[in-house]
Amino acid sequence: MSNHNILVLHGPNLNLLGLREPSIYGHQTLEDINGILRLDGEKMQVSVTCVQSNHEGVLVDQIHQALNKYQGILINAGAFTHTSVAIRDALAGVAIPAVEVHLSNIYRREEFRHHSYIAPVAIGQISGFGANSYRLGLRALVDYLQKDL
From the annotation, which residues make up the binding site for substrate?
A: 76, 82, 89, 103-104, 113
| DSSP letter string, 64-86 | HHTTTT-SEEEEE-GGGGGT-HH
Catalytic residue among 4, 10, 25, 134: 25
Residue 27 appears among annotated catalytic residues: no
Helices (H), the chain: 22-25, 30-43, 56-65, 85-94, 132-147
Residue 102 appears among annotated catalytic residues: yes
CA distance 82 to 104: 14
* 137 C-beta neighbours (distance < 10 Å), count: 28
- Count CA within 13 A, CB hemisphere, residue 113: 14
Catalytic residue among 10, 70, 102, 134: 102
Q: How many residues are recorded in the chain?
A: 149
Q: Among 108, 111, 52, 44, which Cα is nearest to 71's?
A: 44
Active site amino acids? 25, 102
